Amino acid sequence: MGQHDQLPPSSPSSPQPAEPRRWRDADLSPLQLGAKVTLDDDPSPRELRAAQLDRIHRVLSTCKGESYLMWLRLDAVADLIEQHQCGTEPADPAADPASAANSAEFTRLLEPRTQLAAALATAMSISRFRAEALLDQGEALRHRLPECGLLLRDGVIEPRTFARLVFETEGVTDPALLAEIDHRIAEAIRASGQVAPHAAGQQARTIVTLIDAEGARTDREIAKDHIGVTVYSRRGGMATLEITDSAETIVAEENAIDALVKGVCPNDPRSTRRRRADAAAAHFGAKAFTCQCDREDCTAWISSPGSGRSAQLVVHVITDGSTLEGGDKPGHLGGYGTIDASQVRDIADRPGTRVRPLNLTDLTGRAAQQANPYRPSATLDAVIRGLFPTCTWPGCERPAHRCQLDHVTEFNHDHPEAGGATCYCNINPKCLFHHQLKTFGDDWLDDQIVDAHGTVWTEVTTPHGVTVRTRALNTWLFPGLGLIPCGHGPPIAPGPGDPGAEPTRTLTRTEAKHAYRQRLRARNRMEDPPY
């Protein structure tokens, strides 16, 4: 464009985008987003708490608003798909004469859907891939998952969760099965309290596997075509190794790597991320793995890769006994999630696999180890990590097999019968951070409830008084668990909790931020430049 060239004026008939101030000036007080609660220079504790709770409610209300706005966006996208007549192409045009006439459109390189995606990508300044994803989600909202779409509209789930549900159900093609799956997923999420995106995705995968078992088997066979190893070169002499294999194989390899990592002493200076990378290289025979503390009193005990504990590729699968006899009920693979019945049987048929019956009646009066009532029995340990596949703190995705089992009501080591019981009603997994937050944090409270139907729920209450209740994710694995008599009385004198000292930081938050920025700069120098 020349120095004196001017852009042509917009056509008066062209629709103009809404001005930003229209949002700014809107009256949002009915949504708890009116004027903020203000504070005096010297507020009382009660006034300060009220102001903090006001801000928390504003955050929660805007989250629901984002969900509704995304529903409006996807609803408009669904209208565009219908107006441009670019829905999903017919599976068999010959069987549908009405669609056969338009089948030629779908063979064009720039068929209608591609052009609509390009138009959205241009208008929104996003990639064509993201625009295609919007079209998929808009179509799912209108036709494939309308009941799940209402969850988004009502603020029950967030946009990221709806995208996960679309992904988990995209392999289902039978309309009748899809309608049932949509209904079951929406029903399960509404009945589960507050559900994080990863938990909603697991629920969807479980329901799809239960209802469309044949489709799940087909998907797994198709997915085997992607098994392989890929290497990506990076700047700075670095590279990335990516391995794709069956879930049980990858989980087993990861467990073997973690077994090496656990062998170093507490004084090893490397981060967990760096230790795992070094252990993985040793696992594949690229280099030796040793503790790097350089101390004479080092207590590390590291077995050689391929021998000892690192050679035992261990995975844990829980399933109904009928599945091993040819049934279609899915199973749960620890560290991964729901797997279909055929995959369960494939794992059970592997040489060296041990199948151990899990008898829930063992939890009646014998839920703790006989020699140590603080420690759960092997049965209780397996049940709890199966019932709660991740850390039970809302939003945390840490796998249960990497978590600590916590007594919700504190165990009394001096008088075990008076404190919190070692029982399914009082034990759940927590990652190290959230276990420490409960133990040493200010005014945090957690609880575990078994309702009248035998369903196990967990609760966490923040210092601001906000309580989040969530149903145990894998209730489907143990539908009758909560109806088993516990065999103990209510806690009378809970213990004092962890008697250890509160952990401290090696770096202040500011020092850690500066160190992170330095690592980020170093990483950016290794990555390809964005131009």
What pLDDT is attached to residue 531? 46
Residue 491 CB neighbours (<10 A): 19
Q: What is the pLDDT of residue 9?
A: 55
Task: State residue 308's pLDDT score.
Answer: 47
Please count the residues of the chain.
531
The stretch 201-225 carries a mean pLDDT of: 90
Q: Out of 71-80, 481-490, 491-500, pick the least confident.
A: 491-500
Answer with the residue of higher pLDDT: 57 or 526: 57
pLDDT of residue 377: 92
The 10s digit of each residue's pLDDT in 104-141 is 555 666 788 899 999 999 999 999 999 999 999 999 99
Residue whose token pair is 């779409």: 149
Q: How far apart are CA 276 and CA 290, in angstroms?
A: 12
Boundary-marking domain end, from 296, 328, 349: 349
Of 284, 309, 325, which marks where a domain is finished? 284
Whether residue 260 is contained in a domain is answered as yes
373 falls within a domain: yes
Q: Residue 19: its pLDDT value, please?
A: 58
Do 411 and 435 fall into the same domain? yes
Rounded average pLDDT over 37-41 = 81
Instruction: Note whether 219 and 232 are same-domain residues.
Output: no
Note the pLDDT of residue 309: 47
Q: In angstroms, rounded to a whole number, what is the distance separating the alpha carbons of residues 473 and 387? A: 7
Of residues 484 and 138, the one with the higher pLDDT is 138
Q: 87 or 352: which carries more pLDDT confidence?
A: 352
Please indicate, yes or no, whether residues 434 and 521 belong to a single structural domain of this protein: yes
**In a shared domain, residues 391 and 430:** yes
Asked whether residue 216 falls in the same domain as residue 324, the answer is: no
Question: C-alpha 523: how far from its chain's center?
Answer: 26
Domain carrying residue 324: 317-349
User: What are the angstrom distances between the C-alpha of 359 and each of 124, 333, 477?
Assistant: 56, 18, 13
pLDDT at 262 exceeding the cut of 50: yes
| 303 pLDDT above the threshold of 60 | yes
pLDDT class of 526 with cuts at 50, 70, 90: low
Tokens of 414: 């001096």
- 453's torsion region: left (phi>0), alpha (psi -120 to 50) or beta? alpha
DSSP 244: E
Same domain (yes/no): 138, 243? no
Q: Does 213 lie in the same domain as 75?
A: yes
Is there a single domain that holds both residue 72 and residue 184?
yes
Q: Which residue has the tokens 């464009």?
A: 1
Banded model confidence at residue 368, pLDDT cuts 50, 70, 90 = confident
**Total H helices, total E strands in the chain:** 17, 10
> C-alpha distances in angstroms, 397 versus 198, 356, 393, 394?
7, 27, 9, 9
Q: Residue 36's CB: how many other CB atoms inside 10 A?
A: 10
Q: Closest Cα partner for 336 from 286, 271, 386?
A: 386
Instruction: State how far the alpha carbon of 277 is from the alpha carbons of 52, 290, 327, 336, in Å.
Output: 42, 12, 40, 20
CB 436 within 8 A of CB 452: no
For residue 39, is it within any domain?
no
Range from 16-25, 96-105, 273-282, 354-363 carrying the lowest mean pLDDT: 96-105
Of the three residues 191, 223, 255, the one that is the final residue of a domain is: 223
For the cut 80, the answer to whether the pLDDT of residue 335 exceeds it is yes
- For residue 473, give the nearest of 169, 206, 78 by alpha carbon: 206
pLDDT of residue 69: 94
Domain count, the chain: 4
Residue 455 corresponds to which tokens in the numbers above? 């369903």
What's residue 122's pLDDT?
Answer: 95
Same domain, 331 and 379: no
Q: Which of 9-18, 56-65, 224-233, 444-453 is predicted least confidently?
A: 9-18
Choice among 2-11, 208-217, 242-251 with the minimum mean pLDDT: 2-11
What is the distance between the alpha carbons of residues 499 and 176, in angstroms, rounded to a whole number? 57
29 inside domain = no
Please tell me the least confidently modeled range out of 214-218, 381-385, 488-492, 513-517.
513-517
In a domain, 92, yes or no: no
Q: Are residues 235 and 339 in the same domain?
A: no
What DSSP element (H or E) covers 133?
helix 128-139
- State the Cα–Cα distance between residues 146 and 16, nearest whole angstrom: 31
Same domain, 389 and 448: yes
- Within this chain, do residues 273 and 393 fall inside the same structural domain, yes or no? no
Tell me if 414 is assigned to some domain: yes
Nearest to 180 by CA among 195, 169, 191, 190: 169
- Whether 415 maps to a domain, the answer reads yes
Alpha-carbon distance values, 467 to 45, 158, 470 (Å): 20, 18, 10
Residue 20's pLDDT is what?
54
CA Rg, the chain, in Å? 27
Residue 495 within a domain: no
Report residue 469's pLDDT band, with 50, 70 and 90 as the boundaries. Answer: very high
Condensed to tens digits (0 to 9), the pLDDT of residues 165-198 reads 999 999 899 999 999 999 999 999 999 988 999 9
Mean of the per-residue pLDDT values of the chain: 85
* pLDDT, tens only, 90-100: 555 555 555 55
More confident position, 323 or 50 = 323
